[in-house]
Amino acid sequence: MTIEDNGTDFRHPELWDTPDRIGRELAHYMDHIYRHGMTTTSGGNLSVIDGLGNIWITPSGTDKGSMKPDDAVCVAPDGTVEGLLKPSMEYPLHREVYKARPDIRALIHAHPPVLTSFSIVHRVPDTSVVSSWREICGSVGYAKYAIPGSLTMGEMVASEFRKGHDAVIMENHAVVAGGKDLAETLARLEVLECCAGAIHAAGFLGEIVIPEYIRENRSGQPAGSHAHLTGLDMISGAGGNAMTPGEEYQADEICRLAARACSRGLMYGCCGTLSARSGENGYLITPKDILRCELTSLDVEMVRYRDTTGNSTIAGGETGTGRNGCTENEWLMSEIYRRFPSVKAVIMAQPPNLMAFAVTGREIDVRIIPESWLLLREMPVVSSAALAPDNEEIFGKLAAGSPAVLISNDSVLVTGESLLQAFDRLEVAEMTARSLITGQSLGSVKPVSGQDISELRRVFGITE
């Protein structure tokens, strides 16, 4: 099928390149899910289907932690197998899903620990708990148990995909995610696992609260909250070609910290935004729809805000959405940089333990250890309505001295006088949230006393 056939282009690089390239992609993504604990040595499999109907799949009975490009197996439409090894025993599952959904061109079947927990309690994560997760994950289905590798299992999973689901929880097994390519499929899988982790952690805190507009509005945003965005003239730069040497260094640092954030579980898929001030009226920012673990400096966008409203542009006055498109909350970044000259970096992210607080509306008491209090002071919670362009709540919290704000059902926003300081605050915030949740399972959490906080203020020269 080509774009001329029905106006839809399902192609992606893995599918229209050499077998060597396809093998490298399969090995790369298998290595990723193994290193990130989403499968085990013997478990998990992934595949792509090319334009000729060949299914390229990972092999059976091999070490998933050391797959090589040459290990990829090609199964032709007539069942002919080419490769050094046998195809995964789950090949029938992949074949049946591709038959059911021609728009799906890549599949990942893995065993992420929290999603596996959902599968054994026969439950599907509610992705609407966070405003953007439902949009990324799509619809999530549930398939009854069947013997692994059997045609029955393949047909049962495929029937769920046929209903329009983009990922399927497999009863007492794990999960299968699909997408137009391996990158989109991995992003969907990682977001779904984080969603499951946040729901699990929220169970230690209290009742999950999902605003009605999020349940009713697929975009997950308050009505009209982004209606102004098209009028903001959001325009991005041309990556490294438009940058000074200093900005190129900043772009490299953004990519380095994005990769570290992924390795630390602070970011995943295409979720998470890092930005750093550049000059008096501009900043660098991560783009949409690119895996955070695979960002390069050429992906990083340059934004210029040109007036007191925070409207943004690039040098040269071009218009458009940039090569990769701007983030939905770019207007918020522009306004923070415009209003707060001391802020040199802003990060927005959705790590699971912080999001457990975000979906329950619980405030985080950062007085658990000195480092938490010294770096964060406090972390107020605001409603997701604060993301509307005419809402002053976030700016008010930042002006009052809070370097980090938790946005209900959306994200955490942290600021810093440098990108590294903002990243440090993000790490400490997630550590604090995790420690509080774990602490509640052990006993009564006892924060640092007011007297000891006063002593910290004295020793470190901190005024009110």
pLDDT in tens, the chain (464 residues): 333 344 444 444 445 567 888 999 999 999 999 999 999 999 999 999 998 999 999 999 899 999 999 999 999 999 999 999 999 999 999 999 999 999 999 999 999 999 999 999 999 999 999 989 999 999 999 999 999 999 999 999 999 999 999 999 999 999 999 999 999 999 999 999 999 999 999 999 999 999 877 776 644 444 333 333 333 333 444 444 568 899 999 999 999 999 999 999 999 999 999 999 998 889 999 998 899 999 999 999 999 876 555 454 433 333 333 344 445 678 899 999 999 999 999 999 999 999 999 999 999 999 999 999 999 999 999 999 999 888 999 999 999 999 999 999 999 999 999 999 999 999 999 999 999 999 998 999 999 999 999 999 999 999 86
Catalytic residues: 90
Identify the CATH number of the domain in which residue 280 sits: 3.40.225.10
Q: Is 189 found in the same domain as 233?
A: no
| CA gap 90, 44 in Å, rounded | 9
User: Please, is 18 exposed, middle or buried when counting C-beta atoms within 10 Å of its C-beta (0-12, 13-18, 19+)?
Assistant: exposed
Is residue 160 within 8 Å of residue 240, measured between CB atoms?
no
Q: Is 229 found in the same domain as 156?
A: no
Q: What is the pLDDT of residue 327?
A: 55
User: Please, is 207 exposed, middle or buried when counting C-beta atoms within 10 Å of its C-beta (0-12, 13-18, 19+)?
Assistant: exposed
* Residue where a domain stops, chosen among 175, 202, 229: 202
Give domain status of residue 207, yes or no. no
Q: What is the pLDDT of residue 51?
A: 87
Is residue 323 within 8 Å of residue 407, measured between CB atoms?
no
The SS3 assignment for 268 reads: strand
Q: Is 277 found in the same domain as 180?
A: no
Q: How many domains does the chain have?
A: 2
Q: What is the pLDDT of residue 236?
A: 46
Q: What are phi and psi of 141, to 5 degrees?
A: -100, 180
* Residue where a domain stops, chosen among 168, 202, 236: 202
Q: Is the pTM of this model over 0.85?
A: yes
Q: Is 173 found in the same domain as 282?
A: no
Give domain status of residue 236, yes or no. yes
Give domain status of residue 211, yes or no. no
Q: Which residues contact 433 (CB under 8 A, 6 or more apart)?
A: 201, 351, 353, 354, 356, 357, 364
Range of the domain at 129: 3-202
Give domain status of residue 316, yes or no. yes
Q: Is 190 found in the same domain as 257?
A: no
Q: Is 313 found in the same domain as 276?
A: yes
Q: What is the pLDDT of residue 17?
A: 63
Q: What is the pLDDT of residue 279?
A: 85
Q: What is the pLDDT of residue 404?
A: 98
SS (H, E, C) 73-126: EEECCCCCEECCCCECCCHHHHHHHHHHCCCCCEEEEECCHHHHHHHHCCCCCC
Nearest to 372 by CA among 426, 331, 293: 426
Q: Is 198 found in the same domain as 132?
A: yes
